[in-house]
Amino acid sequence: MVSYLPLPRRGALSGKSARTCRRWRLFSCVLVLVCSPPCRTAEIEHRHNAPIQTALPKEASDYEWKRETGEVQSYQHTHAGSWLHIDPQGQFYDRQAQPITREAALEQAGQSSAHTLGDNAQAQSGSKDNTDLGLSL
């Protein structure tokens, strides 16, 4: 809270002055809440959700952000309950905070999907279709 004049202590005033002071205290609290940067929530939400949306654009909606440890964001699968841990650069981590590949992370999360298997099949068949923009670690 920014205050240019110190407010009197509670109980130091009586009558009309006390009512005015109470109104000012209430107003100053509301003013702080209203004047807080509105983009702060958007910044936090972006920091939380950008890693999974970048690393797993097709599967991101299946995960819910749960916590932040340093720069690593942790997500829990909404149905299976399994976890993924991803940093802002798209690096996946295991439960012991050791770097692992995307495939290993999805396998540990029980999400080794047909999509991942399809990517491997395309790579082995030598297909030139480069439409998949998912990260390959």
SS3 for 2-61 is CCCCCCCCCCCCCCHHHHHHHHHHHHHHHHHHHCCCCHHHHHHHHHHHHHHHHHCCCCHH
pTM, rounded to two decimals: 0.55
pLDDT tens digits for 98-114?
999 999 999 988 876 54
Beta-carbon neighbour count of residue 80 at 10 Å? 12
Whether residue 57 has pLDDT greater than 60:
yes
pLDDT at 18: 57
